[in-house]
Amino acid sequence: MTVYEGSPRGQGVRVAVVCGRFNDLITERLRTGALESLRAKGVDDASIVEVWVPGAFEIPLAAQRLASSGEVDAVVCLGAVIRGGTGHYEFVAGECAAGIARVQLDTSIPVIFGGLTTENVEQALERSQPDASNKGAEAATTALEMVDLLRQLPKGER
């Protein structure tokens, strides 16, 4: 039996981090967590591209451009959609997640959903703390693990 498993190694990995500016109190914290995680796992600063878009809805388009460029091995997508009094939350969160999934499948590049979809600001602050519960750091680690895993797997037709 052959078993494949990725490891979050950062040496030689080029990563783009796409952040939504909307709810930047939260996304700044996610960004910090992601960058700290990438650096701790050996990704060189020169191998990190940081891109800011207006909000979560715009993240998939920037991710698609980056993933298609051949310049990065993975894209980490960070945003924060906090439920309000209207249906806007469902549209933005769902379309952002679907767009990111589509980009990942269309490009065969890991495009990681590091977006928060919370009921309130308190939940978002909890999930973006500068500790082990930071979802930006978790997304960055996932990106590196997927890059390593895909490098091991047999290549399919594109």
Is 88 labeled as catalytic in the residue annotation? yes
Question: What residues have CB less than 8 Å from 30, skipping those under 6 apart?
Answer: 19, 78, 80, 114, 116, 128, 134, 135, 136, 139
- Please report the sign of the dihedral spanned by the C-alpha atoms of residue 6, residue 105, residue 137, residue 93: negative
Q: Which of 88, 101, 105, 133 is catalytic?
A: 88
The residues annotated with a catalytic role in the active site are: 88
